[in-house]
Amino acid sequence: MKEIRLGICGLGTVGGGVLDLIKRNADRLYDQVGAPVRVVKIGSRTKKPLFNDEKISFYQDVLLLAEDPDIDIVLELIGGVDIAKELVRKAIINGKHVVTANKALIASHGEELFSLAQKYSVSLRFEAAVAGSIPIVKILRESLSSNKISCVTGIINGTTNYILSEMAVSDRSFSDILSEAQELGFAEADPTFDIEGIDAGHKLVILASLAFGIPLSLDELSIEGISQISIADLKSASELGYGIKHLAVARLVDERLELSVHLALISATHLISRVDGAGNAILIQGDPSGETLLCGAGAGAGPTASSVVSDVIDLARNLIREQADQVKHLGFSTTAIKPRELLTQDEIVAPWYLRIEAEDNSKSIASITDILIKRDISKQTIVSKIIDASSNKIEIVIITDPSSTKALFDATEEISRLQSVSGAITKIRIEDLPSCT
Ligand code: HSE
C-alpha cells in the first residue's frame, strides 16, 4: 500500500506541535487516509531535532527538502516571507503539494503561489494560516459557498486577545502579559506583528478574499494595534457594559468594502465579548445563512497543528485516490476574482468611546461638549470621575452617537488643544455587531 511521505520545514512552536500530533495520532491518520502517513524528512535552519528517529532524516538547508524525491507533501512551518516563499515555490516546481501555516506569505504572495500550484497541478493548503484550530478557510470556501457574504468579523489574533483579557481581570502590565503570551507560544517571532495588528491584517486579507472574491492585497487595509489601551479604558468600558476587543472587520457597506483591524467596544452581552485568552471568534453574515459564529483556540502549537494536519489528511486522501483538489485555492474561479471599491476610514460612521483627562473645574466638561456639538457629534453618555484629588484631575468618559471618523478625529484634535486637557485622548469605535442567537 502506498504511504504518504511528509517533509516538515521548521521545528519551532508549530513544527514541534505538528510532529507531535502526527506521532500521537498516527493510528487516526491511518484510519482517516486509509494508508500510513509518515514524516520522513525534517528541515530546520536552527535546530537539530532532539529525538532520535533513524527513519527521519534531517536537513539544515531547508531548500533541499523541497527537491527531495522521497517527499509527497512539504509542510512549510518556518514562518517569515523570503525563505518560506522560496521553499514553497521550489516545492511546487518539484511537483510537491504544500501545506503552510504562513499568513504573511499567503497574504502577500498567495496569488503568485496559487497560480504556480495550478500550473504544476499541485495543491497549496493554508487552513492553519487563519484562526488556529477554527476551520474558517474550509467553511468560507466550501461550507458557506452558496451564500452572498456581507460581513466577516471577529477576533483573529490570539496574542492580543490574551493581553486584553488578562488586562481586564488583573492589574498586570502589558509587557508582563505579552512575555507570558510569548512563553505560551501564542506570539509571533516578532511580537510587534501581533500588537500592532499586522498579523490580524494578514489574516483579514485572506478572509476577505475567501468571502468576497477580491485579490489578496495588503494595500489600503486600515490597521490599528492595541498599544494605546490602558487598564483604565478596560475598566471604564466594563462599567458602561462593554468589553474591549481587537477586531478585524471585512464588511460591505452599500456595496463598498470596509477592511480594518481596530480596537472596538462590544456589548458585554455579545458572545464575542466573552471570548477570552488566546481564543478567536469569527462571525460570518451571509444570505441566506444568516449569522454563523465560530469560536475556538486561535494560537499555540496544538490548535495550529490541528489545522495543518487536517490539511495534510485532505491532501493525503487525494493522493491515495490519485485525485486533484476539486476546489480552487480561494474558492472562486480565477477570472471571478476582482477588486472592490473600499470605504475609507474617514467615511466610516460609528458611535465612539472617548476618555479624556482634564482639570476638575466647571469649564472642562462644558468646553469639551461645546466642541462636540459644533461638529454635530451628540453624546449618549458622559461620566466623569476624580482620578487624583491631589492633582485636581478628572477622567471624562463619553459615548457618542454615530459620527464619521473624520468629524470625531477633528473634534478630538481640537479638544486635545484645550488648556484644561492633558495627555492623549483615547478614541475607540463602538461596534454594534449582529447578534448570533
Ligand atoms: N501570533 C498569532 C496569534 C499566532 O497570536 O494569533 C496564530 O496565528
* Ligand 1 binding pocket includes 242 (Cβ within 6 Å): no
Candidate from 188, 198, 226, 276 with most ligand 1 atoms within 8 A of CB, to mutate: 188
Residue type, 192: T
Tens of pLDDT along 344-357? Answer: 988 999 999 999 99
Q: Indicate if ligand 1 lies below 6 Å from the C-beta of 279.
A: no
| 199 in contact with ligand 1, CB cutoff 6 A | yes
Specify whether the CB–CB gap between 313 and 29 falls below 8 A.
Answer: yes
**Where do we find the cell 516571507?**
81
The closest alpha carbon to 117, from 89, 146, 153, 144, belongs to: 89
Mutation to probe ligand 1, out of 137, 196, 199 (largest number of atoms < 8 A from CB)? 199
Closest atom of ligand 1 relative to the 156 alpha carbon = 6
The band of 403, judged by pLDDT with boundaries at 50, 70 and 90, is: very high
Q: Give the closest residue to 76 by CA, choosing from 136, 124, 4, 20.
A: 124
> Can you give the three-state secondary structure of 116-143, one letter per residue?
HHHHCCCCEECHHHCCCCCCHHHHHHHH
pLDDT of residue 435: 85
100 contacts 128 by C-beta, under 8 angstroms: yes
Strands 279-287, 256-267: parallel, antiparallel or unpaired by DSSP? unpaired
For residue 314, report the distance from its CA to the centre of ligand 1, in Å.
23
Other beta carbons within 10 Å of 77: 28
Sheet containing 97-100: which strands, arranged edge to edge? 57-59, 37-43, 4-9, 73-76, 97-100, 124-125
Q: List the end-to-end C-alpha distance of the chain, in Å, as a whole number.
A: 48
The pLDDT value given to residue 47: 65
Q: Which residues have CB under 8 Å from 376's CB, separation 6+?
A: 403, 407
Backbone angles phi, psi at 349, to 5 degrees: -110, 125
User: How confident is the model over 184-211, as a mean pLDDT?
Assistant: 97
CB 194 near ligand 1, within 6 Å: yes
Output the pLDDT for position 1.
58
Answer yes or no: is the C-beta of 158 below 6 A from any ligand 1 atom.
yes
Cell output for 387: 482620578
**203 a catalytic residue:** yes
Give me the mean pLDDT over the 399-417 stretch: 96
Kindly report whether the peptide bond that precedes residue 288 is cis, defined as omega within 30 degrees of 0.
yes
pLDDT one-digit tens code per residue, 309-330: 999 999 999 999 998 888 999 9
- Contact (Cβ atoms closer than 8 angstroms) between residue 127 and residue 138: yes
144 contacts 289 by C-beta, under 8 angstroms: yes
Please work out whether the CB of residue 299 comes within 6 Å of at least one atom of ligand 1. yes
**Pick from 123, 84, 122, 83: which is nearest to 103 by CA?**
84
User: Which residues does 431 contact at the CB level (< 8 Å), separation at least 6?
Assistant: 153, 247, 249, 264, 265, 266, 350
- Name residue 433's amino acid: L
DSSP state of 337: -
CA-closest residue to ligand 1 atom 8: 299
Please check the confidence at residue 261 and state whether its pLDDT lies above 80: yes
Residues 10-23, mean pLDDT to the nearest whole number: 95
**Which tens digits make up the pLDDT trace of 134-160?**
999 999 999 999 999 999 999 999 999
Per-residue pLDDT tens over the stretch 263-306 = 999 999 999 999 999 999 999 999 999 999 999 999 999 999 99
Q: How much is the pLDDT for 49?
A: 66
Q: How far is CA 424 from CA 41, 75, 123, 265, 400, in A?
A: 53, 46, 49, 18, 18
Helices (H), 213-290: 231-239
The predicted model scores a pTM of 0.96
Q: How many CB atoms lie within 10 A of CB 19?
A: 23
Catalytic residue among 41, 96, 203, 427: 203
Residue 187 in contact with ligand 1 by CB distance below 6 A: yes
Write the pLDDT tens digit of every residue in 42-88: 999 876 666 667 788 899 999 999 999 999 999 999 999 999 999 99
Supply the residue whose CA is at minimum distance from atom 7 of ligand 1. Answer: 299
Predicted pLDDT of residue 3 = 95
- Ligand 1 geometric centre to CA of 188 (Å): 6
Give the percent of the chain with pLDDT over 70: 98
pLDDT in tens, 99-128: 999 999 999 999 999 999 999 999 999 999
